[in-house]
Amino acid sequence: MLSKSKIRFIRSLDKKKFRNETACFLAEGNKLVADILHSFECEYLIAKAAWLATQGDIKAGELIVAEEGDIEKASLLKTPQDVIAVFKQPVYQLNIEELGKELSLVLDGIQDPGNLGTIIRLAGWFGIRNVICSPDTADIYNPKTVQATMGAIAHVRVFYTPLVDLLKQAKEIPVYGAFLAGKNIYREPLSETGLIVMGNEGKGISPSVEKQIPNKLYIPGYPPGVVSTESLNVAVASAIVCAEFRRRQAYH
């Protein structure tokens, strides 16, 4: 039986205050939990017997076989599945020198948890190991964000740091940013390594961060000269930019 205190604890992880206090995060769903189970330290795992039977050896601080109604009582999802897990938040060290050896994403004020999770997912797809966020970007450990990563949270390291300071320290690293008034990304030379800055859903990249970005890129619409959609969703724009950087590398 899942105790009332554990149910309260699990549901409290919907709030950033309690995630910060406990340094824990919540993951729900059969595939998501299975995908990240061996990448993070698991505090609690509550699952139906049928799901547990498919997983083999599970390392968890406490393993609870869910009884009828347990998952539904603790879940934050509209349609709960067969497993809920509480993990410890990992601690990563941001190394500027290492950033200069690969391609990384930098997110300035992304507000929507779903957008952030989707960007983490596409970073995993394109082999981008590091995503660096401004302090006002949505929380990577928000349950909605974790859900949207579709397991990529296990393969992408996410950092939070003031971006102006970061970019000032990264003077030797190529820095690119997505702007409505930038240069056509398909015609500009692109480095195999560097930092790609993506901005807030409504305001774009903040003026203070923009001053630190020497290479301003624009994704042109089609056909040229025809006005259509005003702008792209930031996750969609991130996917297009990352795809173009990787395409150049593949055909270099």
Mean pLDDT, the chain, rounded, equals: 94
Residue range 34-50: mean pLDDT, rounded: 95
Say which CATH class 4-88 falls into.
Answer: alpha beta
Residue range 50-76: mean pLDDT, rounded: 92
Q: Can you list the positions of beta strands (E) in 34-174?
A: 42-47, 62-65, 83-88, 103-108, 130-133, 157-160
SS3 26: strand
- pLDDT score, position 53: 92
- For the chain, the maximum distance between any two Cα atoms, rounded to a whole number of angstroms, is 64
Give the pLDDT band (50/70/90) at residue 236: very high
- pLDDT score, position 63: 94
- pLDDT score, position 250: 74
Q: Can you list the positions of beta strands (E) in 38-172?
A: 42-47, 62-65, 83-88, 103-108, 130-133, 157-160
Residue range 157-183: mean pLDDT, rounded: 96
Reading across the β-sheet that carries 24-28, which strands appear in turn? 24-28, 83-88, 42-47, 62-65
Give the pLDDT band (50/70/90) at residue 56: confident
| Domain limits, the chain | 4-88, 96-250
- pLDDT score, position 252: 62
Q: Tell me the Ramachandran region of residue 146: left when phi exceeds 0, alpha when psi lies from -120 to 50, beta otherwise.
A: alpha
- pLDDT score, position 228: 72
In our burial notation (b when 16+ CB lie closer than 10 A, e otherwise), range 177-197 reads bbbeebeebeeeebeeebbbb
pLDDT tens-place string over residues 211-225: 999 999 999 988 777
Residue range 57-74: mean pLDDT, rounded: 92
- What token pair was written down for 144? 């909605």
pLDDT tens-place string over residues 107-131: 999 999 999 999 999 999 999 999 9
- pLDDT score, position 128: 97
- What token pair was written down for 201? 């859903």
This prediction has a pTM of 0.94
163: Cα within 13 Å, side-chain hemisphere? 29
- pLDDT score, position 226: 73
pLDDT at 251 over 70: no
Residue range 137-164: mean pLDDT, rounded: 97
Q: Which fold has domain 96-250?
A: Alpha/beta knot (3.40.1280)
How far apart are alpha carbons 32 and 29 in whole angstroms?
A: 5
